[in-house]
Structure formats: structure tokens, C-alpha cells
Amino acid sequence: MTNIQGRNFIGYALSAEGGRQFKAYVPVTDTYLPETFQCATVEEVNKTMQLAEKAFDSYSRVPAYDRADFLIAITEEIMALGDQLLERANQETGLPIARLQGERARTINQLTQFAELLREGSWVEAAIDTAQPERPPVPKPDIRKMLVPIGPVVIFGSSNFPFAYSVAGVDSGPALAAGNPVVVKAHPAHPGVSDLTAQAIVRAAKRTGMPEGTFSMLYDDGFEVGTALVKHPATKAVGFTGSYKGGMALYRLAREREEPIPVYAEMGSVNPIVVLPRYLKNNAEQLGKTLAGSVSLGAGQFCTNPGLVFITKSEGLETFQNSYKSEILNTPAATMLTAGICKNYNKLRAEALEQTNVTALAISDIRPEGENQAEASIALVSGKDFIENPKLHEEVFGPFSLLVVCEDTGELYEAISHLKGQLTATLIAEEAEVAEYPEIVRQLAKISGRFIMNGVPTGVEVCPSIHHGGPFPATADSKFTSVGRHSILRFVRPQSYQNWPDSLLPDELKNGNPLNIFRLVDNVLTKGRI
């Protein structure tokens, strides 16, 4: 049994020097758990970042195989927590145990994949151009390049994923894998879960001999600690998942520094779904059921729940609407993560329903016992009114979706042309139908990071081919993903070595490295040079 400490983790030590305290909230019962959590002070922030900066000198040089062992040790320590971790997460988030088991498995899978990536080695993208001393008109030097870690990374835990986007999640995993010390600002919505996970990481770091300061975690239920972490000169990058307002605040802080740093922020998405006429005609009833399940999944608290569905006045529309309505009406309300999130959902939903010519199509009438319950809701608006009202283009975080009924596919194209960047876009269409609407296809591809056909956006596969990001304002930088092996590219930079003796080069760039022999052959075959 692991106890909740409720203190800040600075390096490997626990600190309780902070001033303010707060308690973990239980959303189902609207109560608080007994442990107190200590908010960090600015002095603790400085100490933490100084330790991380010092640790970078040694941790960045820890061999990749040893860092892989560290990541695997983290997975073992997390699993050793057993049901205690799941039960605490259930208390602090209201999420069901089955969902949390799946999320924990995903987190373990993510860390394991990065361990495998480190052992495989090609992630450093080694490139070798050997010297040509006799090349006219001037000799060519020996130049070799690889990706290297950037320095201490600050991670902000998210509210909606207590494991996968939190202390040991999609930002911490690749940052640690790349060789960067990590400082986590724990999310106040699940401090006990964060505490247990942090203890697991500390045990893993000690087991595998990682330098002091490789991992730290600080608490705060406000903005002071996060602001100080981003502004600290030792911080070299920031990972964030949350609201547009929060992400842009951090982005501006990072840009105003003497040394600007990247903020990799995921900031929300309405994940539009476009249904073409022929598919609607042939699959109307089942489509209503499928979309209702995606809208209400996890109380709508996924970053990929579909907030907009675009459709035309065509055969099958009435059947689809009746099916969609019936499923939503029979979807029980669900507990939201915090009282604040639930309050904001109800506020934004009410504002959407108050807009001109927007009508409620269905609101769940099944309400289980418990507090902070959010009813699944869908509303209806015409394509013309949607186009004219930018308020309707905004995300309502929760189980709400707006059905936009357009006069024809021309109006549908105009409607989606008003949308900004999204994490996902989905096309529901018969395969033969796609070629008839190239403008719609191109527009959806242009605004999305992941383009889905005949599926739903909820559910993000952790694999090399996934891209979980998108054009602004879905993310701060559309070139990077926060999920999958390529997410490590956020926390590295290229480094070239010119005319260095082979014995002094990093192992990844030495002539005897098997991966680099392959690259030399590949260079000859595909680029005609070495």
C-alpha cells in the first residue's frame, strides 16, 4: 500500500515548504477527501528548475538503453499500485473503473513504446556525410547530424485524462525518453492520483540510478506556479493540454521571455463530421446510433468528441434525426470531472441553445444519482444560420453536439469553410461518392490533423502513424503530435558535428554503428552521395 503524501516532489525529495493548501474534490458527492496538498512557492520553483538544469548535464548523457530501462521501471511501479490507483482516480474524477483501466493500459503502452524506440535507435535520425578531401573546387568536410535533447521540460497535467495526459503521460514519456529532465505541474483536479504516480516515477528513477532532478512535480490550485515555471530561464519547452485560453496564456508567457521557448499546446477542437447524401440514404438509422455514442462518450470530456455534424436535406434525414434523438434521450447523464467543468458546460450549452434559430433536438432525460451530472444534448440549426453566427463554431466541452442541416452540398461546403483548425475531421460517405465532392474533401483535410472516413473521432490509437495535433487553434504548432513515437520530436533539436574524430563522436554517429552503416548505403542508393 502506498500512502498519499500530498507534498511537492523536488528531485527525489519531498518538500512541504509551501503556503496555501487545498484538498482533492470528489465530483460525484460534491465533497472533499481528507488529505491536504501543499501549493509550491516561487522559491521551490527556483530550486526545482535549478536541480533539473543540473540533472540535464548528466541525464542527457545516460545511454538510451538505460533510459529505456527507466521507462519500463516506471510502468512496473505504476502497475504495482494496483487497484489503489484506479480507486483514487475514480474518486477524484468520477470516471468509471473500466474507463480508467483502459487509460492506465494506454499509458503503460505509451511508455513501453518509447522504451522500444530508444532500444531500436533510429529515432535520432542520424545523417552522415563523409569527407571528400579531393573534391573540387574546395574539399568537403565530414559532417554528421543527429537529434539531441533540449533541456528541462515543464509539463502541465490535464483534467480529463488523469493517467494518459498527466504525470506519466504523453508529454512526460517522450520528454524523458529523449533525455530531458521533466517538471510536472500537477492538475488540482486529481492531486492524489498525481501523487501516487509521482511516487512511482521516483521509485523507478532510484531503482535505475537516474540523476537527482530527473523528475520533479509541484502542486498549485492557481496560476502562480505555472507562470513561474514557464518564465524560469532553465525551462526549454512546455507541454500543455487544456483550454484555448490557458494554452494561449502560456504561449504568450513563453514568447515574452528573454529566450523564447516552444509551447506545445493542445487547445480544443469541435471535430466536425460531414455526412454525404448517398451514405445518409443507406445508413440513416445506424448512423444516428453511432454518432450519439461518440457525442456522449466519457461525458463528452474527450478532446475528440464530435461537436458539429453537417448534413444536407436529403433522403434519410428524418430517419437519422429520429434515431439520433432516441439514442440521446436514452443516454444517462454522466458525472463531469469537476464542479467548474460541469458549470461551464451548462453555461456554454445554454448560450448555444439561446442563439437565433437554434432548437434543442434532444436532451437526455435519464439522470442517475450524484452531483455534477451532465445531460447529453444535441441541437439543430440551419446551414445559413450557422454560417452567419461564429458563436456556433466554438467548442462546448461536454456531451453536446450541434446538427447543422444545409440546403445542399454547396451550402455545406460554405459552412465548413468557416471552421478553423481541428484535431480531427470526419467524412461519412460511400466510397464511390467521395470523388463527387472534391472541394469538401480538400477543405476537411486542410483544417484537420487526423482525417477519418466512416468512423468516429473518439478513440486515439497509440501507434507510429497517428497524428494527434492540428492547425491552429487546435494546437499551437500543427507540425507536431502529442501521441505516438513522433511526439518525441517536440523535445529534441538537431545537432551537427563537423570534422570530429570518430572516437569522440556520439555513439549514434560513429562509423561502426550498424544503423549508420545502413544509412550510408541508403544515402548512396537514394541520394547518389555519401
pLDDT digits (tens, 9 = 90+) for 191-215: 999 999 999 999 999 999 999 999 9
Residue type, 473: P
Least confident of 205-209, 456-460, 472-476: 456-460
CATH topology of domain 8-267+481-490: Aldehyde Dehydrogenase; Chain A, domain 1 (3.40.605)
Contacts of 383 (CB under 8 A, 6+ apart): 310, 404, 405, 406, 407, 411, 412, 414, 415
Catalytic residue among 53, 77, 303, 342: 303
Q: How far is CA 339 from the centre of its chain?
A: 22
Nearest-angstrom CA–CA distance, 247 and 278: 40
CATH architecture of 273-453: 3-Layer(aba) Sandwich (3.40)
For 366-401, give one letter per residue: b (16+ CB within 10 A) or e.
Answer: eeeeeebbbbbbbbbbbbbbbbebeebbebbbbbbb
What share of the chain has pLDDT > 70, as a percent? 96
What stretch(es) of the chain map to CATH 3.40.309.10?
A: 273-453
pLDDT tens digits, one per residue of 380-430: 999 999 999 999 999 999 999 999 999 999 999 999 999 999 999 999 999
Maximum C-alpha span of the chain:
82
Pairing state between β 21-26 and 263-266 = unpaired
Nearest-angstrom CA–CA distance, 244 and 258: 24
Q: Looking at the predicted structure, is the pLDDT value of residue 521 above 90? A: no
* CA–CA distances in Å: residue 396 to residues 173, 343, 400, 418: 29, 12, 7, 17
Contact 267, 244 (CB under 8 A): yes
Residue 365 has a pLDDT of 85
Nearest to residue 313, comparing CAs of 321, 305, 324?
321
Catalytic residue among 92, 266, 375, 395: 266
∠ CA 76-80-82, nearest 5°, is 130
Residue 16 has a pLDDT of 77
pLDDT tens digits, one per residue of 329-360: 999 999 999 999 999 999 999 999 999 999 99
Scan for cell 474533401, then name that residue.
441
Q: Reply yes or no on whether 342 is catalytic.
A: no
Where would I find the H helices in 144-260?
172-178, 191-207, 224-231, 244-256
Which of the four pLDDT bands, split at 50, 70 and 90, describes residue 236? very high
> What is the dihedral sign for C-alpha 357, 362, 365, 366?
negative
Nearest to residue 253, comparing CAs of 222, 232, 275, 284?
232
Q: Reply yes or no on whether 266 is catalytic.
A: yes
Contact 7, 16 (CB under 8 A): yes
Contact 201, 208 (CB under 8 A): no
What stretch(es) of the chain map to CATH 3.40.605.10?
A: 8-267+481-490
3-state secondary structure of 27: coil
Nearest-angstrom CA–CA distance, 343 and 96: 21
Residue 195 has a pLDDT of 97
Scan for cell 503556503, then name that residue.
19
